[in-house]
Amino acid sequence: SSVSHETTSSLRKDDESPVHGLSEMIVGVLGGGQLGRMLCQAASKMAIKVMVLDPSENCPASALAYDHMVGNFDDSATVQEFAKRCGVLTVEIEHVDAATLEKLEQQGVDCEPRASTIRIIQDKYLQKVHFSQHGIPLPEFMEIDNLEGAKKAGDLFGYPLMIKSKRLAYDGRGNAVAKSEEELSSAVAALGGFDRGLYVEKWAPFVKELAVIVARGRDNSILCYPVVETIHKENICHIVKAPADVPWKIRKLANDVAYKAISSLEGAGVFAVELFLTGDGQILLNEVAPRPHNSGHHTIESCYTSQFEQHLRAVVGLPLGDPSMKTPASIMYNLLGEEEGEAGFKISQQLIARALEIPGATVHWYDKPEMRKQRKMGHITLVGPSMGVVEARLNSMLKGEGSENK
């Protein structure tokens, strides 16, 4: 159905006919990946119309969107054309053309969150500068322009040293670790050299990684989802446990840091705040995403209002929903591509077949046109009466023993 509505959608926007959904606003989403797809799923429950802009004709959101405009979300003319058809503009990826969003805002186009937020977040160095200016605790960091600068940073912060590309980073692509001064030049080269725009971070000696989804409505009300633990495999989010098994004091601190971080940004929507918990009980901010996030996928099954429904409520101006959990415990397991092509599909299919036998398990498959190694192809959410039971269910799924109830 990808391009079929294109001619009628602009008519419908200006149409004076009665409203049948929860909002008459057409929500335009820049990007049509799995996050866009799950936004469309949430939108369908409320009869909210979501249009996506994505260059790939068979992107994950395409089949479920009210409309799909095929085009680049980082191309100015395309984004401006897309904006004409939407009542509100939002994103499912931060690597969009922020300058165009700023221009559109000046012309009165409603962008949620604001272009200023996208601009700050899409450059991880600028993001770090912003949050440090707002008193948010984070690992020490420093811009580097050449090998001399990198060595100076290494002397100051020690090793291992985390080198990051400022822009276009996702799933750890854009991070390189130098274990010693000798490894600096190869790590920089692996990221594409200094011209790419690099900075370094002091190694965060974390005992756990935590994350908080924060929602802000158009009326500026703010709600936080329960703190979760995220477990990464080779820099990619792999497992999320909700709620995080940390003391009440840590949960409170994580919430406070997340709340403060999002309060420093403008616009409505959901935001994800990635955090490090150190051995001495400090919470440091890693990064923020201005959109629904992998650490919030569990909310579809385990919270009264999913992060996707919440994002839609926020951007169209409905009241925010209850973010609390309706199930005692849940685990989200990402289906990452293990092999290229057919072999990879087979491995995922075997795991999915086992998941279908597990009580409390829900399978999400993003229908991406190509299987690639380490690519997020889908996820499985398991819910249950306690974290112990959910962990046992995950283990039996991974071991292939089927349900623990059998």
Q: Point out which residues bind ligand ATP (CB under 6 A).
A: 139, 162, 164, 169-172, 174-175, 201, 203-204, 209, 232, 235, 274, 286-287
β-pairing, 376-384 vs 361-365, is: antiparallel
User: Buried b vs exposed e over 38-67: b needs ≥16 C-beta within 10 Å?
Assistant: bbbbbbeeeebbbbbbbebeebbbbebbbb
> Cis peptide before 369, with omega less than 30 degrees from 0?
no
Give the nearest distance from C-beta 139 to Mg ion in angstroms.
Answer: 13
Give the nearest distance from C-beta 236 to Mg ion in angstroms.
Answer: 9
In the numeric block, the tokens 């955090």 are attached to 275
Give the nearest distance from C-beta 170 to Mg ion in angstroms.
Answer: 6
Give the nearest distance from C-beta 400 to ligand ATP in angstroms.
Answer: 28
Structure tokens at 373: 């190694």
Identify which of residues 92 and 201 has a Cβ nearer to ligand ATP in the complex: 201
Residue 330 near residue 296 (C-beta atoms within 8 A): no
What are the DSSP calls for 25-44, one per residue?
A: PPEEEE--SHHHHHHHHHHH
β-pairing, 269-278 vs 236-242, is: unpaired
Residue 175, binding choice from ligand ATP, Mg ion, none, Cβ under 5 to 8 Å by partner class: ligand ATP
- Please give the C-alpha separations between residue 12 and each of 17, 45, 49, 142, in angstroms, as whole numbers: 8, 20, 11, 50
Identify which of residues 232 and 326 has a Cβ nearer to ligand ATP in the complex: 232
Identify which of residues 286 and 381 has a Cβ nearer to ligand ATP in the complex: 286
Q: For Cα atoms 320, 325, 329, give the angle at the middle one, nearest 5 degrees.
A: 155
Residue 209, binding choice from ligand ATP, Mg ion, none, Cβ under 5 to 8 Å by partner class: ligand ATP
Helix axes 307-316, 34-46, angle to 10 degrees: 70
Q: How far apart are CA 54 and CA 214, in angstroms?
A: 26
Residue 140, binding choice from Mg ion, ligand ATP, none, Cβ under 5 to 8 Å by partner class: none
Identify which of residues 55 and 172 has a Cβ nearer to Mg ion in the complex: 172
Give the nearest distance from C-beta 177 to ligand ATP in angstroms.
Answer: 8
Residue 212 near residue 255 (C-beta atoms within 8 A): yes
Where does 357-402 show beta strands of DSSP type E? 361-365, 376-384
Give the nearest distance from C-beta 246 to ligand ATP in angstroms.
Answer: 17
Identify which of residues 111 and 162 has a Cβ nearer to ligand ATP in the complex: 162
283 to 312, contacts with Mg ion by CB under 5 A? 287
Residue 162, binding choice from ligand ATP, Mg ion, none, Cβ under 5 to 8 Å by partner class: ligand ATP
Residue 106 near residue 83 (C-beta atoms within 8 A): no
Identify which of residues 203 and 345 has a Cβ nearer to ligand ATP in the complex: 203
Q: How far apart are CA 20 and CA 23, in angstroms?
A: 8
Give the nearest distance from C-beta 192 to Mg ion in angstroms.
Answer: 17
Give the nearest distance from C-beta 381 to ligand ATP in angstroms.
Answer: 19
Identify which of residues 104 and 200 has a Cβ nearer to ligand ATP in the complex: 200
235 to 274, contacts with Mg ion by CB under 5 A? 274
Identify which of residues 113 and 139 has a Cβ nearer to ligand ATP in the complex: 139
List of residues contacting Mg ion (CB under 5 A): 274, 287
